[in-house]
A = this chain, B = another copy of it.
Amino acid sequence: MLKIVLLGGGNVAHHLFAQFSKNSEIELVQWYNRSISAIQKFESTTLLTNQLADLKPADIYIIAVSDSVIREVSSSLPFKDRLVVHTSGNSDIQVIDSKNRAGVLYPLQSFRKEKKIHWNDVPLLLEAENEKDLQLIQRLAKSMTDKVYRINSKQRSRIHLTAVFVNNFVNHLYSIGAELSEQAQIPFEIFIPLIKQTTRSLENSPAKTTQTGPAVRGDNSTIESHLDQLKDPLYKDIYKSITRSIIKTHGGEKL
């Protein structure tokens, strides 16, 4: 069994706690949070503390706190030469104070407190400073999910950029779509099957090979009519910038 100490009381920490509690490969030795009240209701199942000085020995210390306080928490740890990992997608492995061995266990998923996490669907992206620690983190990760990847800090920042495109920006396009359809009294639900089909097809075919629409067809009259219909200049800009990029990416293929 892997002995784990968990630090932090936010969404990620709560979801990790729920996972560790039912994971037979893991012994959750202790849960630390600066404020005990945030985790108080779990005192019957786990040893809780709000004192870093009281931390027990463990194989891995997991710091699941906001990006801005990882450094502070890690440098306040009252021991050295132990394996300390953070769970952030945006922070370099180096933010872990060098008195301990540093690692990263980054779950690529967005966590909300009320939403159940299916850990086996969550990719865990790992980093460590040496091979032995990587194997330890890997053992932990594989007890949680089949989707385990070794990713360095530079790749992790690229992952963040990519996620902005495929998640944050996509979500904003859905939001624009909902607004456009509402204006014409069209229920947005009619688009859900189409959206799901596109998502499903990602698992079999690269998106580039399945591109459809007026831009890839070079259908300028439809593009003009769409730009006419769009009243918001910001939506026009989005329409134009993506259309230009589709035309450049696929230019000549179907024109």
Contact = CB atoms under 8 A, between A and B. Distances in A.
B245 A208 contact: no
Number of copies: 2
A235 B206 CA distance: 18
A113 interface: no
A157 B221 CA distance: 13
A47 interface: no
A229 B158 contact: yes
A171 B205 CA distance: 11
A154 B154 CA distance: 49
A141 to B, nearest CB: 13
Contacts of A196: 121, 199
Interface class of chain A by DSSP? helix
Interface in A189-212: 189-199, 202-203, 206-208, 210-212
A157 to B, nearest CB: 8
Interface stretch (A38-46, A76-84, A95-103, A174-182): A174-182
Contacts of A53: none
Contact of A167 (B90, B172, B195, B215): B195
Interface residues of A, number: 85
Contacts of A202: 174, 192, 195
Contact of A161 (B151, B163, B168, B180): B180
A127 B177 CA distance: 22
Interface of A: 90, 108-110, 121-123, 125, 147, 149, 151, 154-155, 157-181, 183-199, 202-203, 206-208, 210-216, 222, 225-226, 229-230, 234-235, 237-242, 244-246, 248-249
